[in-house]
Amino acid sequence: MTLLNRVKVLFFATLVGAAVVVGLRLFLGTFGFQYIIHAYLGAAAFTSAVTSLYASSLLTHLEEIISSRFS
């Protein structure tokens, strides 16, 4: 329950991932329809990297988060 209040970073990561898809799709779409898949690949790689780093940082500081909440 303590970690449910920490979704702002994940929300903004998905917004940036969606912006990457739109931006790269518009750029790569001029070269051909087959290159649009690279926009989705780039956005998925970016979003998964950011969320993985954030989740690992939460897990390393989990004790501090819980102790500050209940002390």
Whether the predicted pLDDT of 70 surpasses 70: no
d(CA 17, CA 41): 10
- Domains held by the chain: number: 1
pLDDT band at 53 (very low <50, low <70, confident <90, very high): very high
What is the average pLDDT value for the chain, to the nearest integer? 83
**Domain range spanning residue 22?**
2-70
Alpha-helical regions (H) of the chain: 8-28, 36-60, 62-70
Whether the predicted pLDDT of 1 surpasses 60: no
To the nearest 5 percent, what fractions of the chain are helix, strand and coil? 85, 0, 15
0.85 surpassed by pTM: no
